[in-house]
Amino acid sequence: MFIPLTSLDLSLAAVLVIMLALLSWRMQLNVTQQLIIAAIRTTVQLLLIGLVLKTIFTHVDILWVALICLVMLSVAGWEILSRQHRKLKGWWGFGVSTASLFVSSFFISILALITIIQADPWYHPQYAIPLLGMLLGNTMTGIALGMDRLVQTAWQQGSIIEQRLMLGQTSVQAINDIRKESMRAGMIPIINSMAAAGIVSLPGMMTGQILAGAPPVEAVKYQILIMFLITAGTGFGVISVLWFISRRLFDDRHRLRFDQLLKTVKNK
């Protein structure tokens, strides 16, 4: 059984957000503006994508699906960049984050669509777009965290890295401990959510399917599939980011070169 929502239903929920905004404004908690803007953004963006999906579902065409996917991919790429504390060099940074998302989400979505889900045609937007969306949204977090940790730690521990180089270590040896730590930082959220799934939290996708009337066990199977895809995607994505960045951090003579990586740094 599926119960559609009316505009009135949504307005009731919106009143809660507005009450929260008013309260935080009264208490001078400084989140009011961000809260309102984000709430408006989510409404407009979701309504728009709803309309887009509705149109695409009725005209199944691989070109349209590809176009939407590319837009999603590049927006996610920018999103990763904007979550970095240290600004990476423009196009290069965008290239790395998008390339890693390509490995983590695009490639894995296509693999899952063709070999596991096997819709007809395999790129059917009803499956392709939600799947890619979920993968992008979740792997993006892990990649952004891993990347930020690597760049931040390398920056803070620059003199330790150089000390290790002075002792004759290779660039890989000198950055290895920081790489391990960054991999952990990127993977912890998905590892935690796998461990907590079903006991502490009911994952959103599964809950959505159940709300839409799907049998619980079927919903659970889909959720397990998605969890595994997200985990694999996040892992491969973080690894590729670590690989790209730690290569860029050094030159071919194993010198530490922040000027190749970061925007505002000039080589001393």
Partner 1 sequence: MKNLLIKNLHYQHCGPIDIQINSGECVAIFGASGSGKSLLLRALADLDEHTGDISLDDISMNQVSAPEWRQKVALLPAESQWWFDTLGEHFSEIDHQLIKQFGFPENVMSWSVSRLSSGEKQRLALLRLLLNKPDVLLLDEPTANLDKNNTLLFEKVVEDYIQQHSACVIWVSHDAHQLERVSSVQYQIEHGQLHRH
Q: Which residues bind partner 1 (CB under 8 A)?
A: 157, 159-160, 162-170, 177, 253-256, 267-268
Report the C-alpha gap between 244 and 146 in whole angstroms.
12
DSSP run (H or E) holding 123? none
Which of 85/268 has CB closer to partner 1?
268
Which of 166/200 has CB closer to partner 1?
166
Shortest separation between residue 125's beta carbon and partner 1, angstroms: 50
Which of 167/199 has CB closer to partner 1?
167
Handedness of CA 224, 226, 229, 235 (dihedral sign): negative
Handedness of CA 53, 55, 57, 59 (dihedral sign): negative
Which of 11/156 has CB closer to partner 1?
156
> Among candidates 80, 82, 118, 85, which has minimal Cα distance to 99?
80
Per-residue burial over 67-94, b = 16 or more CB atoms within 10 Å of its CB, e = otherwise: ebbeebbeebbebbbeebebebbeeebb
Which of 126/163 has CB closer to partner 1?
163
Q: Count the Cβ atoms, other than its own, within 10 Å of residue 62.
A: 13
**Region label for 87, one of left (φ > 0), alpha (ψ between -120 and 50) or beta (otherwise):** beta
Shortest separation between residue 256's beta carbon and partner 1, angstroms: 8
User: Could you tell me how far CA 187 lies from the centroid of its own chain?
Assistant: 12
